[in-house]
Amino acid sequence: MTGIHDLTERNAAFAADRFKTGLSINPSGNLMIVGCVDPRVDPTHVLGLDQGEAAVIRNVGGRITPATLSTMAMLRKVGQANPDGKQPGDWNLVILHHTDCGMTDLVAYPDLLAAFFEIAPNELRNKSVSDPFGSVRVDVDVALREVNRSAFLVSGLVYDVATGRVETVVAPTPPRVAP
């Protein structure tokens, strides 16, 4: 078991050897990743990101839910309040799902899943819960509908927990910005 003593010792090693000073509250890579809480799929590790390069939101399944959209809106406001660290160029929203996801175990609990997505249980089939390739497409579509911003791209990746490789399912796509 990993105890608090282990964590504080690891933190001391991090602070001494790997801590980067002067990072901005805004990601240096204009990158936001939505990924799963599964400990096998830490987006910063599997995508080789540096500290401060991306904002990472994690939830069960790495899904775009009303709560995820609310978190994204809040982070946008934080970024607007701190314009000094903003990098030029397009923002990239990467939705990262993975194989062997525990969310597939939740299919047996439709009321729980429906509450998570804030939909009626009979709408769950539209969420492609049991297929990471289908679910990443569904969530990219949701993000493309909900993110009404120019200079923004949305893409979808699936990480294979057996090989450690990611596959691009949806290439970077700009949202449909309303006039």
pLDDT digits (tens, 9 = 90+) for 84-99: 777 778 889 999 999 9
pLDDT at position 179 is 67
Token readout for 85 is 């660290």
Please tell me what DSSP assigns to residue 23.
-
Q: Residues 94, 56: contact at Cβ < 8 Å?
A: no
pLDDT digits (tens, 9 = 90+) for 56-112: 999 999 999 999 999 999 998 998 898 877 777 888 999 999 999 999 999 999 999
Q: Residues 75, 13: contact at Cβ < 8 Å?
A: no
Name the nearest CA neighbour of 35 among 64, 57, 66.
Answer: 57
CA distance 36 to 74: 20
CA distance 141 to 146: 9
